[in-house]
């Protein structure tokens, strides 16, 4: 067994690998870029080596620097995690040539599966179901149309070297096939330096289901059940679960056995995942093989009770797999939500900056501890006060729950999301809460088009209807009553002029989500010692009891005897008296006033926001990569004005109306904040 391993990665996966290595008594070496010098993975590791500037092309993608770090520290093996160099066959080969063990598959297995065209041919030869299509590179758009007709529409046009949703189009007719081929080819050339494109049948109502494999160097391969990854936004997974609520035992067995055949065909050693597209009739076809650990591996760990990182390390050290296929368990139901630094209410634009508060829900399961199950686990690479840099992907954390069945897992996940406090940047938690509450998701009735179909206009606050709006009103009144109790107890008040608290209040809703709310509320039987009170509103009574301390971002307690968790924020929206309640994905901003104050508030003039229509504003924090206009230039609506880079994404800003550029207010290379003006028109 190794004494020391180097983790050629960052963020949550680097932290995850370190925890398993620590459990196994193996020393760890972290590598970090200039942007990550204070990152959590650097703190957790036994040693850390700086490998260059912030952009990943200058640091985490520098194979020579990583090999040099291994030699400098005496690390005997490298774990690549996922992303970066994890599926780079050249890197794996180079590491092996230097006498360092690569904790992953052999370079020839990575190479065989890395090319989408060649891997399909290999899969077909190994007896794996493949989608009808042409797996050879297509030379022209006319030929693409001819092939598409012979397969039958709809078809999928894909770049051979594609990934992350780039170089991919679905065509339903000749025109779309012609245009889609050209677009895919151009995208693939600019993104991957490889313009080969192929075509295959597009499976309607498809589900994305993958089989987790583990192989050793003694010829043994087992499949560790499946994961359901159909909830995707723009080809990026959002929620993953294991097992799948859709496939039958027979389909599971057939998919697993075919995945094993493919792994054996390439002498696969380590963790790997075979991805399948599954039709509504349970027909399944090979998509691709990921020759690395997956982001969503924790859901498999929950239902099997295995530590996949430990198995990878043991297999790399030459050990045999410790279990056979008939010993693979499938207990309970696990769900993972990816918590990303993005604003769901602003079309999921990246959100970077400082984590003013980062308080995950209470954990009862931990990475690398497979004996503790049926609970909540958080895998993260950040901490309170940390920075979310603009140079890497947007994932802040992975929230994983394990329940006795699917409904139990959904209930646990909703409760955990309610308790997940993130301040300083926006996160997709409200969107995750909305997905978990959607009747079709709860019923298991979805496919890869679920988000595109149900949130076609983007995500808005009204897409998260609360199942009991009266509870939000009651909780706002309860929080206000706790604040008033403190005010009433402050010493040194003039006799006869102390604060006295009445029972009658009015909750006035603020912002888009609460403009029509003007609820009368009675707060009775307030007990400061126990934190209990009875709140009457809208003909209902809510008996709330909580030990919440003033200033806490999270409030836990019981309502009518049932446990709840919610979040509280005071002084929001530039109003120091406003109270924000967040629960089940709904955000409710309000003022809790006396009846007389509410009457006067209704007479207050409304201050209109300033007119910013003459400006092009930055929709997110990021780096201004390009300003495409200059002072005095006439610009037409739809013309390119600027390009902002953030989290590996390029965002082009266009003019919304005709105009003449009056001022350019930001320079190329400048770091921008949200709503910062870039260009002013006259």
552-561 contact pairs (CB < 8 A, 24+): 553/357, 553/359, 553/421, 553/423, 554/359, 554/419, 554/421, 555/475, 555/479, 556/419, 557/531, 559/471, 559/474, 559/475
Task: Determine contact, residues 229/240, Cβ cutoff 8 Å.
Answer: yes
Q: End-to-end distance of the chain based on CA atoms, in angstroms?
A: 69
Residue 8, Cβ density class (10 Å: 0-12 exposed, 13-18 middle, ≥19 buried): buried
pLDDT value at 597 more than 80: yes
Looking up tokens 């040693």, which residue turns up?
47
Residues 6+ apart with CB under 8 A from 198: 116, 117, 133, 134, 135, 136, 137, 138, 157, 158, 160
Mean pLDDT to the nearest integer, 408-414: 97
Residues annotated catalytic, as ranges: 288
Give the residue-averaged pLDDT of 63-92. Answer: 96
Q: Over the stretch 191-224, which tens digit does the pLDDT of each residue have?
A: 677 888 888 888 878 999 999 999 999 999 999 9
The pair of structure tokens assigned to 323 is: 């279990």
Name residues whose C-beta falls within 8 Å of residue 35's C-beta, 6 or more positions apart in sequence: 54, 387, 389, 391, 392
Report the 10 Å Cβ neighbour count for 512: 12
For 255, the 3-state DSSP assignment is helix
The CATH code belonging to domain 615-681 is 2.40.50.100
Region 340-358 average pLDDT: 90
pLDDT 10s digits, 418-453: 999 999 999 999 999 999 999 999 999 999 999 999
Residue with tokens 């790399």: 316
Q: Say if residue 539's pLDDT is above 90.
A: yes
Domain range 207-453, CATH architecture = 2-Layer Sandwich (3.30)
Average pLDDT over residues 649-653: 82
Are 635 and 661 in contact by the 8 Å Cβ rule? The answer is yes
Nearest-angstrom CA–CA distance, 9 and 27: 16
Percent helix, strand and coil across the chain, each to the nearest 5? 30, 30, 40
CATH number assigned to the domain covering 132-201: 3.30.1490.20
pLDDT score of 164 more than 60: no
pLDDT at position 413 is 98
Decide which of 194 and 96 is more confident: 96
* Cα–Cα distance measured from residue 682 to residue 667, given in angstroms and rounded to the nearest whole number: 19
How sure is the predictor about 139, in pLDDT bands with cuts at 50, 70 and 90? confident
pLDDT of 512 above 90: no
Helix axes 249-265, 116-125, angle to 10 degrees: 110
Q: Which residues pair with 311 in a beta bridge?
A: none
Q: Which two tokens stand for residue 460?
A: 């808005």
Whole-number Å distance between alpha carbons of 192 and 44: 34
Mean pLDDT of 295-319: 98
Residue indicated by tokens 């508030």: 601
For 282, which DSSP code? Answer: S
Q: Which range (28-32, 184-188, 340-344, 582-586) has the least confidence?
A: 184-188
Mean pLDDT of 537-543: 95
The first and second tokens of residue 546, run together, are 């909580």
Q: Which of 3.40.109.10, 2.30.42.10, 3.40.50.450, 3.30.700.30 is the CATH number of 469-602?
A: 3.30.700.30
Quickly state the pLDDT bin for 166 (edges 50, 70, 90). Answer: low
Q: Mean pLDDT score of the chain, rounded to an integer?
A: 92
CB atoms within 10 A of CB 523: 23
User: Which helix (H) or strand (E) covers residue 597, if one does?
Assistant: helix 595-602
Residue 513 has pLDDT above 70, yes or no: no
Strands 77-79 and 4-7: parallel
- CATH class label, 4-103: alpha beta
pLDDT at 163: 60
With beta carbons less than 8 A apart as the criterion, state whether 344 and 461 touch. Answer: no
Q: Which tens digits make up the pLDDT trace of 481-508?
A: 999 998 888 888 888 887 788 899 999 9
Query: Domain-by-domain residue ranges, the chain?
Result: 4-103, 132-201, 207-453, 469-602, 615-681
Whole-number percent of the chain with pLDDT over 70? 98
pLDDT band at 162 (very low <50, low <70, confident <90, very high): low
- Residues 505 and 502: their CA atoms lie apart, in Å, by 8
Quote the CA–CA distance of 105 and 155 in Å, as a whole number.
32
Lookup: tokens for 412: 């646990």
Amino acid 466: pLDDT: 86
Flag whether pLDDT at 313 surpasses 60.
Answer: yes
Taking 90 as the threshold, does the pLDDT of residue 272 lie above it? Answer: yes
d(CA 607, CA 367): 50
- Mark 42-71 as b/e (b = at least 16 C-beta within 10 Å): bebbebbbebbebebeebbbbbebbbebbe
Structure tokens at 544: 């709330």
How far is it, in rounded angstroms, from Cα 200 to Cα 147?
A: 9
Continuous H helices in 456-523: 469-489, 511-514
Position 667 pLDDT exceeds 70: yes
Write the pLDDT tens digit of every residue in 287-303: 899 999 999 999 999 99
- Report CA torsion sign: 24, 26, 27, 32: negative
């Amino acid at each position: 067994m190794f004494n020391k391993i180097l983790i050629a990665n960052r963020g949550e996966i680097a932290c995850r690998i370190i925890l398993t290595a620590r459990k196994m008594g193996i020393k760890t070496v972290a590598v970090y870029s200039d942007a990550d010098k204070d990152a959590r993975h650097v703190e957790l590791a036994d040693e850390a080596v700086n490998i260059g500037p912030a952009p990943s092309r200058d640091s985490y993608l520098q194979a020579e620097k990583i090999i040099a770090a291994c030699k400098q520290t005496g690390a005997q093996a490298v774990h690549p995690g996922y992303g970066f160099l994890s599926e780079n066959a050249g890197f794996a080969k180079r590491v092996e040539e230097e006498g360092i063990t690569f904790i992953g598959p052999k370079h020839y297995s990575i190479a065989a599966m890395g090319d989408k065209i060649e891997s399909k041919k290999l899969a077909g030869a190994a007896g794996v179901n493949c989608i009808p299509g042409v797996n050879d590179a297509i030379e022209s758009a006319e030929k693409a149309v001819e092939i598409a007709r012979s397969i039958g529409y709809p078809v999928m046009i894909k770049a051979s070297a594609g990934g992350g949703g780039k170089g991919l189009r679905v065509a339903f007719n000749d025109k779309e096939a012609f245009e889609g081929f050209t677009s895919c080819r151009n995208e693939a050339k600019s993104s991957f330096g490889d313009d080969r494109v192929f075509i295959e049948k597009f499976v309607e109502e498809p589900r994305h289901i993958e089989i987790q494999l583990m192989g050793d160097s003694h010829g043994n391969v087992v499949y560790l059940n499946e994961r359901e990854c159909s909830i995707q936004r723009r080809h990026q997974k959002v929620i993953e679960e294991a097992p799948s609520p859709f496939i039958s035992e027979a389909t599971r067995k057939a998919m697993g056995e075919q995945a094993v055949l493919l792994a054996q065909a390439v002498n696969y050693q380590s963790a790997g995942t075979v991805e399948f597209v599954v039709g509504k009739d349970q027909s399944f076809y090979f998509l691709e093989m990921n020759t690395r650990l997956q982001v969503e591996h924790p859901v498999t760990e929950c239902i099997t009770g295995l530590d996949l990182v430990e198995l990878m390390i043991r297999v790399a050290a030459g050990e045999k797999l410790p279990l056979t296929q008939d010993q693979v368990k499938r207990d309970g139901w696990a769900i993972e939500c990816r918590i990303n630094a993005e604003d769901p209410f602003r079309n999921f634009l990246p959100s970077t900056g400082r984590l003013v508060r980062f308080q995950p829900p209470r954990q009862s399961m931990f990475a690398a501890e497979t004996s503790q199950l049926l609970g909540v686990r958080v895998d993260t690479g950040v901490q309170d006060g940390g920075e979310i840099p603009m140079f890497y992907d947007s994932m802040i954390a992975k929230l994983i729950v394990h329940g006795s069945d699917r409904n139990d897992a959904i209930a646990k996940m909703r409760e955990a999301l309610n308790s997940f406090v993130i301040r300083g940047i926006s996160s997709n938690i409200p969107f995750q809460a909305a997905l978990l509450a959607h009747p079709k998701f709860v019923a298991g009735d979805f496919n890869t088009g679920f988000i595109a179909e149900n949130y076609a206009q983007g995500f808005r606050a009204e897409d998260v209807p609360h199942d009991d709006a009266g509870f939000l009103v009651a909780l706002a009144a309860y929080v206000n009553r706790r604040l008033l109790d403190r005010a009433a107890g402050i010493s040194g008040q003039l006799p006869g002029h102390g604060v006295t608290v009445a029972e009658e209040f009015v909750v006035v809703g603020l912002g888009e989500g609460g403009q029509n709310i003007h609820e009368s509320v009675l707060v009775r039987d307030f007990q400061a010692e126990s934190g209990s009170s009875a709140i009457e509103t809208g003909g209902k009574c809510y008996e709330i009891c909580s030990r919440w301390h003033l200033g806490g971002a999270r409030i836990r307690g019981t309502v009518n005897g049932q446990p709840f968790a919610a979040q509280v924020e005071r002084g929001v929206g530039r109003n120091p008296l406003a109270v924000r309640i967040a629960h089940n994905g709904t955000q409710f901003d309000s003022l809790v006033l006396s009846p007389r104050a509410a009457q006067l508030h209704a007479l207050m003039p409304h201050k209109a926001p300033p007119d910013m229509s003459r400006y092009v504003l930055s929709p997110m924090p990021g780096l201004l990569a390009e300003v495409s206009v200059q002072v005095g230039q006439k610009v037409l609506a739809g013309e390119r004005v600027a390009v902002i880079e953030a989290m590996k994404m390029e965002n082009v800003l266009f003019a919304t109306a005709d105009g003449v550029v009056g001022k350019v207010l930001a320079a190329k290379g400048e770091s921008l904040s949200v709503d910062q003006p870039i260009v002013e028109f006259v």
